[in-house]
Amino acid sequence: MVVRAREVFQSEVAPVGVVSGSGIHLRPLLDHVVYEVAFSDAGLPAAGTAGHDGKFVFGWCGDVPVILQSGRIHLYEGFAPGVVASTVDALYGFGVRALVLTNAAGGLDEALAPGDLVAAEEVVSWRYTAHPFPERMRPAFVVPGCVATGTYIWMHGPCYETRAEIRALQQLGGMAVGMSVAPELERCLALGIRAGAVSCITNDCTTQEALSHAQVVDVAERASGELCGLLRGYIGAERTGRDVPVAGGPDCLDR
Quick: pLDDT tens for 143-188: 999 999 999 999 988 888 888 999 999 999 999 999 999 999 999 9
* DSSP-assigned letters across all residues of 46-78: PP-STT---EEEEEEETTEEEEEEE----GGGT
pTM to 2 decimals? 0.90
- Mean of pLDDT over the chain: 87
- Has residue 253 got a pLDDT over 50? no
Could you give the angle at the alpha carbon of 196 between the alpha carbons of 190 and 202, nearest 5°? 125
As a whole number, mean pLDDT of residues 41-50 equals 78
- Has residue 142 got a pLDDT over 90? yes
Of 217, 194, 244, nearest to 18 (Cα)?
A: 194
Using 50, 70 and 90 to split pLDDT, how confident is the model at 50? Answer: low
Distance CA 111, CA 148 (A): 10
Residue 251 confidence (pLDDT): 53
Taken in order of first residue, the domains within the chain and their CATH numbers are: 5-237 (3.40.50.1580)
Residue 33 confidence (pLDDT): 94
pLDDT over 70, % of the chain: 89
Using 50, 70 and 90 to split pLDDT, how confident is the model at 78? Answer: confident
**pLDDT tens digits, residue range 192-235?**
999 999 999 998 998 877 777 788 888 888 889 999 999 999 99
The more confidently predicted of residues 248 and 115 is 115
Residue 76 confidence (pLDDT): 86
Using 50, 70 and 90 to split pLDDT, how confident is the model at 9? Answer: confident
Three-state SS at 81: helix
Name the strand (E) or helix (H) holding 158.
none
For 29, which DSSP code?
Answer: G
Count Cβ atoms within 10 A of the Cβ of residue 250 and give its class: 0-12 exposed, 13-18 middle, 19 or more buried: exposed
